[in-house]
Every structure is written in structure tokens, then in C-alpha cells.
Amino acid sequence: MPSPPSHHRHAAALLLLALQLSCCGGGARSSSPSTSPSPKVPAVIVFGDSTVDTGNNNAIGTILKSDFAPYGRDMAGGPKPTGRFCNGRLPPDFISEALGLPPLVPAYLDPAYGIDDFARGVCFASAGTGLDNKTADVLSVIPLWKEVEYFKEYQRRLRRHVGRARARRIVSDALYVVSIGTNDFLENYYLFVTGRFMEFTVGEFEDFLVSQAEWFLAEIHRLGARRVTFAGLSPIGCLPLERTLNVFRGGCIEEYNQVARDYNEKLVAMLGRLMASRPKLKVAYINVYKNMLDLITNPSTLGLENVEEGCCATGKVEMSYMCNDKSPMTCEDAGKFFFWDSFHPTEKVNKFFAKETLDLCYEQLL
């Protein structure tokens, strides 16, 4: 059975160990990303991983956190680490604000918020999770099935708060934002820690993940979701961390990018079949691969100067506890960078992604 190059495995394993050891040892808000008239959307409801987790990992026993400086340093009103893996806001925050809702989508496990806040927006996402339940086990984060259970609990709380009829309208008219899948490959399959590489060829693993995505979408549709955005994989081989691990060839890991393209193609086919069998369900596929590659290829379109390294620390391997306020090399202007840390985009890029998502929503969902 084909397997990934061993140097990728060893380097990634060392990075994971470094993250664990570092844990144990140790700008103003921009305008709304879209000027289109805002349709009536009562809430933005979010599922997924660190690309959209607004702070749920703060409340669980995992080493994968970002509730400390310099994360959140460019939040409106001054530096505020919230658990977002970014220097500022994430795409769901910009989407919420553009739809006339609060500028921050609250994390469901954040005790500072209650059901009155969640009636207008709520995030169930957990950094480090994936479509495969085994992915969540790697760093002890919230698996996707548990995110769905929280959604069920949320609906029960919502019915008690606003009544059954209004709760049903909020759930059915909400915009759902889903971003998940990268960790299944980079933290699970290619890290060799779960054994999935022995159970599946990479193509079979793609099929398995797509089937998990289909289960998830069918389940939230059964629970009332009607308008969903679902992000495909980005060019995962071009993340700064993966560039760093590609020590022998340099540049992006094309093998990983090809996997992302193959998975995306299968995902799009599944979404078509799913919507054909469920006429009330609308799912807009977000082509993150193209959006990201366009910026990496033409960074000047967004005023970017560095698309290969993160702003935090050296920008090559640091994220979570390895990206901290003691890092002497953190950049002064994150707006010049595509990536904030070695894995996650800056607020400026998140705003761009949010606008691309909103434009597609206006065309297909709203």
C-alpha cells in the first residue's frame, strides 16, 4: 500500500512533540466584506475546525489553544486573545457582520455568552477536529459528532428561550458555515498516528471522508438546516508548515495538493447527489483551493508581500503555544502576510475569504 514519504512523517511527529512540550513548559476592525443588500438571515451557525473555531477549545482539555498573545492582537478595541487562531477575526465573524448580525460569532462553550446571544449566531467548531472521529482524538478536541450533539442541545435551549415556532424559523432560515477536512490529512493520515494509512489508500480515505461529510450534512438537514456553505480543501501542501517539512524539494508539497484536488472533486459530486435527493437543502461549495491559489500566485491583488511564511515567530513551524508573546521575530504588520502562523490565515485574508463566500451565498443561497 502506498504511503507518504517518511521524512514528512518524522518531521511532523517532531513538530507535534514540540507543541506538546511548549504547552507543558510553559489593528482596527475593517469594514464589512460585502456591500450587497443584506437578506433576512436570523443567525449564522458554524461547524468545523480551527479555520472557523471562535473559542470552543478554550473550554476543553486540549493543548491546541490560542487564547493568549499575540493571537487576537489586531482585534477591534485593542489586543484580545479569544481562542481564534488568527491575529483578528475569522470568516464567520465577517459574514455575520455583513448580514446585519453581531461582528463576532460566539463560541457555544464560552461562558460569557448565553442563549440570547446564540439565537443570533453560534459556533460549534473545534480546532484540530476533522470529518474522521479519529482526527479529533489526536489532540483531544471535539469530534464532529459531538458538534452535532451540541447543535441538538442548542435547539432545545432555543425552543425554551423563544418558543418552538420561532426556534424552528431561526434554525431553518440561518446560514450554516462549515469548514473542515485539512486536519484529516495533515494531522491524521499523513502523521501516521491513527493507523488510518494502514486501513486505507489515500483514495479510499478521501472516499471515507466524503461519506462522513455526507452523513453530517444529511444529519443537520434532518435537524432543520436548509442553507449551507461547505468549504473544500485549500492547497494544503502550500501551508508554511508543509513547505518547511518539504526540506528536500522545497516549495509546496504537490502530492498533498493533488490529494486536495481529488478530494474536492469527490466532494462536489457528493453535494450534487445529496441536493438532488433533498430538494429543500441548498449547499454552496466554497472553492477555497482556487481562492487561496489565486492569492498565492498574485499576492499584490490584496497587497500581500509574503505568502510562504506566517507572521508569528519565524512563520515556518509555529502555531498554538509555539506562537507566543515571547517570539522575537513576529512581524509588525500582519496585513502584509497571507498567513498569521504556520497554518492559519491573517485577518486580512479571512476578510477576503468571507467576501468570496458571501458573494456565492447571494448567488446560490440567499
pLDDT in tens, 119-150: 999 999 999 999 999 999 999 999 999 999 99
Model pTM score: 0.90
Q: How far is CA 73 from the centre of its chain?
A: 19
Q: Cβ contacts of residue 204 below 8 Å, gap of 6+?
A: none
60 burial via Cβ count (<10 Å: 0-12, 13-18, 19+): middle
26/294 Cα distance (integer angstroms): 38
pLDDT, position 86: 98
pLDDT, position 306: 97
The 3 state secondary structure assigned to 140-206 is CCCCHHHHHHHHHHHHHHHHHHHCHHHHHHHHHHCEEEEECCHHHHHHHHCCCCCCHHHHCCHHHHH
Reported as type and span, the H/E element at residue 265 is: helix 254-277
pLDDT digits (tens, 9 = 90+) for 45-102: 999 999 999 999 999 999 999 999 999 999 999 999 999 999 999 999 999 999 999 9
Supply the DSSP string of 13-74, one letter for each residue: HHHHHHHHHHHH---PPPPPS--SPPP----EEEEESTTT-SSGGGGSS-S----STTTTTT
List per-residue pLDDT tens for the chain, 366 residues long.
444 444 444 444 444 444 443 333 333 333 444 444 445 899 999 999 999 999 999 999 999 999 999 999 999 999 999 999 999 999 999 999 999 999 999 999 999 999 999 999 999 999 999 999 999 999 999 999 999 999 999 999 999 999 999 999 999 999 999 999 999 999 999 998 899 999 999 999 999 999 999 999 999 999 999 999 999 999 999 999 999 988 878 899 999 999 999 999 999 999 999 999 999 999 999 999 999 999 999 999 999 999 999 999 998 988 899 999 888 899 999 999 999 999 999 999 999 999 999 999 999 999
pLDDT, position 90: 98
Q: Cβ contacts of residue 121 below 8 Å, gap of 6+?
A: 43, 44, 45, 46, 92, 96, 101, 102, 105, 106
Domains of the chain in sequence order: 44-238+254-298+346-365 (3.40.50)
pLDDT, position 318: 87
Nine-digit cell at 20? 506538546
> ∠326-346-58 over CA atoms, to 5°?
65
- Show which residues are catalytic: 50, 341, 344
pLDDT, position 39: 56
Residue 123 forms beta bridges with which residues? 46, 107
DSSP letter, residue 83? S
